[in-house]
Structures are given as structure tokens and as C-alpha cells.
Structure 1
Amino acid sequence: MGCEAQPKILYVEDNRDNQRLVQRVLGARGYHVLVAEDGATGVALAQELRPALVLVDLGIPGLDGYEMATRLRGLKHLDGVPIVALTADSTPGARERALVAGCDGYLLKPIDTRLLPQQVAEFIGGKREQLAAHTDTTDLLRAYNQKLVERLEQRVRELTRANAEVQELDRLKGQFLATLSHELRTPLTALMGYLELFGRGMLGELTPPQREAIAVMRRSGELLARQLNNLLYFQELRGRSFTPRLVRPLELLQPLLVGIEERARQAGISFELVCAGAAPIALDPIGFEQLVHSLLDNSLKFTPAGGRVRLALRDEPARLILRVEDSGSGIASEFLEKIWLPFYRVEPTASQPGAGLGLAIVRHVVEGHGGHVSVRSVPGRGSAFTVVLPRNPAPEG
């Protein structure tokens, strides 16, 4: 008989010896026993598989057997699936508490290997244990509810403690980045200044090899500065709100585009600007400039010499549409949702320099303006990023 025809039994138990014993005993009788080692995994498997029967140890870690039974009983598509406690808890009232929680049966350990297959068959066949007629369920329900309340309070305390730890880590990260700003940007500014003087010949004549070396150092310094600026700007973004004011997009972007055109020229990439009108719009100037810079920087980074990058701005009555297209390496479909995450980098392009923050900054700025951003990409043919920003009225004053 193949596994497809075998009744599935879900056994939720954290003891490996008990797992193997039940699998061996019930497997010999034609059952297919699946194992989960904790209550949360057990609930997930039960929802996915809808087994013929669930055996559960009441003392499993995390979500215990009582809570698991209660949760399974609340799932309509598992109506009719018997839940049987298989436990070493023989204390007075344990059976009744299990039945109140949602179990249909109560079997004690140590496991009786001769009786277990017959007991399982009976429960699958419709047997259900009931509380005795004279049993007062009020106290049982009150005790069970108190247990659930205590577990909930414990989880609230754990979440509160974890949240405090996360906030402290975030504070330390901000403090670290502030220190990083001073300790790295200050010497980097001096370094770039002297490289500029060397490049202009203001500190003496340079030989061709020396000029080439200075040029390489300047490019590396500029790359380091861009990465550091992205890191610091991303941290700053998380701690401040945007302040829109009425700006003319092309005028605002002009200094940035001059640098982009020069960078594209040096890389042998064709850069094109298409602007079908760009009326004034309420934007946070710093955020908008960083958004455009991050998109163009991303396209230039992944477009080879001989390729093209295109920036298009289009006005509509209620919105401004910005589109950046390139003929670069493209992005596989399975990565398209992840590229917006901070510090995420697509594996095949991990050799490219960068901290993986540019597109995270783009999404943060766009959403901070009430807009949305999307991407279409074909590996080997390029990508197209589209940003839509609403024309919100500029704030007064």
C-alpha cells in the first residue's frame, strides 16, 4: 500500500524516542505518521495536511498541547478530526482539563504498544470521550482560562522586553552612525581635497603614472563618499519627517544631473533626459533629490559601457511621473520584491560596490510623499523604475 492511501497521523511530541516508537508501531499497521516537535509546527502541519487523527503530548514546548487543541478546534476545515492527548500527566483533573481544552481522548504514557493501534482506529472510527455527567465544568473552564491569561501575560512581558532591547539597539546604531559620520567624513573630506589639489597640479607636476594613480584614488574616494552618504542619509530619513515645499523639479535636479552626465560620459554610457513639462510641485527637496540620485546611481552602476540610461519626467493633472530606464544587467523576477529591503543585494551582482541602501531610500522617500514605485526588468536587457508622486498642495507658510 503506497503512502498516498495510508491514513495520516500527526504526532506532536518533542521526545525522539517516543516519536520513533509511535512511527514504528502505527507504521506497521498501515498508518503514515508525521511528526512535529512543537505546537506551532503541529498546528501548521494540521492545517496543511488535514490528518485522520492528531496525537499530542500535552507538555510540548512553546504552544503546549492544551492550547494547540483549543486552536485546532477553532479551525472549521478540521472539524471531525479527532485530537487525542498522549501524555504522562496522570494528576487528578488532567484528563478533564484536556477534554475541556478540545481533546477527544486521553491516553496515558508509557505507551501500550499492543493497544495503541486499536485505540487510534477507534478514534478515527468515531469514538469520542466525554466528561462525566456529574462533572462541574465551571471550575475547569475557570482554571483553563486562568492558565491562558497567565500565558498571555508571559508573552506580553517577553514582547515588551524584546521591544525594549530592539529600541536600545536602534539607539546604539544611531549613536554609532553619528560617530561614523564624524570619524570617517572628516578625514575623507581632507583626503579628497588634497587629491583635488594633486589632480590640478597645484602641489607640483605629476608624471602620467602619478596622474593615473591620483585619478584612481579620487574615484575610490568618491565611491566611499557615496556609500557613506547613503548610509548616513538612510539613518537620518528614519528619524525625521518630510517637509514639502513648492519646487521646480528640473531646477532642483540641475546640479545633480550635471554630475550624472559627467559620470555617464566617463563610463561610456549614453545618458538622456526627457522632460514633457515639469510644473512646480510640493516636494521635500532633499528627499526628492536623493530619490533621483539613488535611481540614476543604481542604473549607472549596473549598465556596461556602450549602454544607455534614460530619465523621463512627465506631468499629469494630479501627479508627477518619473521614470528611469537602463539597458543594464536586469533583475530576475524572484528578486524584484526584495530589492527594496535595506542592505539587500542581488547575489549575481554582489561583486558591484554598494551597501544595498539606494533602492530602500527610494521606497522610503516615495512612500513618505504618499506615492508609489514599481519596477519592470528583464535579465540581460535592463530595468525600468517608475515613480508616481501625487500633486499634494504645498503647505502654507
Structure 2
Amino acid sequence: MRAYVLHPDIRNDRSRRLPEHGLAEAVSLAAALPDMEVVGAEVVRLPRLQPGMLFGSGKVKELHDKFHELNVGLVLVDGPVSPVQQRNLEKEWEVKLLDRTGLILEIFADRARTREGVLQVELAALSYQRTRLVRAWTHLERQRGGFGFVGGPGETQIEADRRAIDDQVIRLKRQLDKVVRTRELHRAARRKVPFPIVALVGYTNAGKSTLFNRMTGADVLAKDMLFATLDPTMRGVMLPSGRKIIVSDTVGFISDLPTQLVAAFRATLEEVLEADLVVHVRDISHPESGEQAQDVADILQSLGVGAGTPQLEVWNKLDLVDASQREALTAQATTRERVFPVSALTGEGISHLLDVISGVFDEEKTERLIAVPFSDGRRRAWLHAEGVVLSENATDTGFAVQVRWTARQEKRYRDL
């Protein structure tokens, strides 16, 4: 399908990002859809939003002629478009229109592979559609029976459609609850495994999957494409020090992520909450790498990933940076704590990063005497599997266990 991308730049609503970079990201989003040919893109500067058609009438006419000339079938607006604006613009331009939320939902629907991912996308799509029933029906004058004495034209039709969507939402939530409970059982099983979990997080297309493949020897889809990874993938890795860890590749973050998707994918992103170490992967070659890093930090904070979880920052894609800038970045990284420049594609800096990750888990250890009841055999077994038991003596009610462990191990023990 031939598509055209518009990025509205509202004079009184300037974000920390340049509109040209926003447009470039929107074009990349469009290109992430299969069978999509982007035939044009532009920033549309607006003094203010028009409530009826978003753009002024002159701009709407100008764009109509352009779309007709280019034979455009789909227009992507990089921002929110109200249901009324969408209906009016589709009528004026005689094309299909998607806003940023609709576009990201389309990509997620195309990429989701696991049962949970598919259900979460469906749930997010339904919640998005429910708000847009005003434009979803062209037969608003028709009601299902009755004489039309109560309510406005089409009200009963819309209400019936809302009920149908609500019923579907309830059904999906029940299915999702089952899947989430299964995932929780898997998480509980992993808590018993004496291996720390390392979660790779970062802005979409930062190179997380390439780094994941480099670290684990796996063959996860890694493309120069937004949202190449949607479903979390986990693999065991033996570090050069001989320590074994579990690495998790997670969905990429993005600015202005639709609220429906933030809620729907919270369960997926909760893998990060379980992590013992968070590795924030940045595309250091991107002109807005700093802004992207701030978006990731904001989402991590909203998820509840606090200062208690150790974090490393990886400046990825060094291979795309010219030699002089690379030297400056490397020098800058040495002055900052826990920042590591690498190229996941070429392998540059990876061995040092793995050594640092191993060192994170060689933390300061403290000794403690804890009481483990006879009935709590699972925790006792976990302590022995972790290798933290120094001595153990039976008491009247259980075992007095002398342990030597890290703060991370103590936290995991409390969470069992």
C-alpha cells in the first residue's frame, strides 16, 4: 500500500524533540509494516489544532491534491487524531487514516508471536476501538428497532457495539489471566534457580536483540527496524568467569507509547521487575540518543524499577560512529560510572561488558543467622542451591542457618 506520513508540529506544544526527528521516527514506524511503501513525508507546522479536521482548510485541500497525484491509499499522522477528525479527513482525502496509536497497534498485531502477546494486542486494540465508535459506523441514522423516541440517532447502535466490545474485553481478560498465571508459575520456578537474571531494555531499534544474540549465541530476529522484538526471550549464558546468568530480551520502548499499550504490555515488561541487573542499551549513533534515554528512564520509573536494582548503560552501535566522535565518546564513557561503549554487531567491547556483568554479582557479602521452619523446605533447599549456607543446626521449630550472602540473594530469598 502507498502511504504518506505527516508529523504535526504545533507551535505551542513543542516537546524536547525536533519535529524532523519525530518525522523520521514516524517514517521508520510506517516502514515496519509489511507491504508498506512510503511515497512521501512532511512536517506540517500548525499555529493550533483545528477541532474539526486537525489542519486548516487550505492545507487539507493542498494535501488532498498531493495524495491524489501520488495515488496514496493510507495517510499516517504522527500524533493523536480524534475520531471526528479521522472521519472528516478520511472523507475529504478519500483515503484510510491511522494516527500514531493505530499505527503502533498495527505493528504490534503483525509482530506478536506468543499467546500472551497476541492477547495483549487484541485487548489494546479493543480499548482503542471502543473510543472510536463515532467513526466506525456510517449508518448512525439507523437504529435496531423501536421508534427512535429515546436518545439521538444511532445511539442504540453505538451502545450495542460498545456492549459487544465490552463482552469481548471480558473474554480476553479471562484468557490473559490464565496466561499470566502460567507466566507467574514460570517466574516462581526461575526464582528457585540459583542464576541471576539480566534484562536488556532500551528504546526500540537500539540493538538489544543484536546484543542478546552476541551474548547468548541465540538467533533472535534482529533487524534495523522498529519493534523487531515484541515478546520477551530468555536464554542462559555462561560468562567468561564461569558464572551462569539468564539474559532476557524485552520489547523496545518508544516516546508517546499509546496508553492502551502501556497497560496491555505491563505484564510483559514486568520481566524487568524480576531482573537482578538492568542493562540499558542505547543507540549512541542516533541524533536523539539522549532524549530516547530519558524516555526509557521515565518508563522504567513508571514500572517501579528503582534505585535498588543495579543498572548498566551500554552505548551501542559504535560501528556507525565516525572515528573522531568514537574517541570522544569512549573518553566520555570512562568519566562516567557504569557506562560501556560497544558494538554488538562487530563484538567490540563485549568481552569487557561481560566481565563487568560478572563483577556486578560478586558483590559485598554479609553474614546473617536466620531461622527456617521445618515446614519451609523449599527455602532451605534454595539456600543450599545458592551455596550461601555456612552452618546449619536443628532447633525445636526448624533450622538455625548461618548464611553469607549478597543483598540481591537476600532479596530473592525474601521473595520466595
Specify the TM-score bucket, using the shorter chain as the normaliser: under 0.3
Find the structure with the greater CA-based Rg: 1
Q: Return the structure number with greater relative CO, CA threshold 8 A, min gap 6.
A: 2
TM-score normalised according to structure 1 size: 0.25
TM-score normalised according to structure 2 size: 0.24
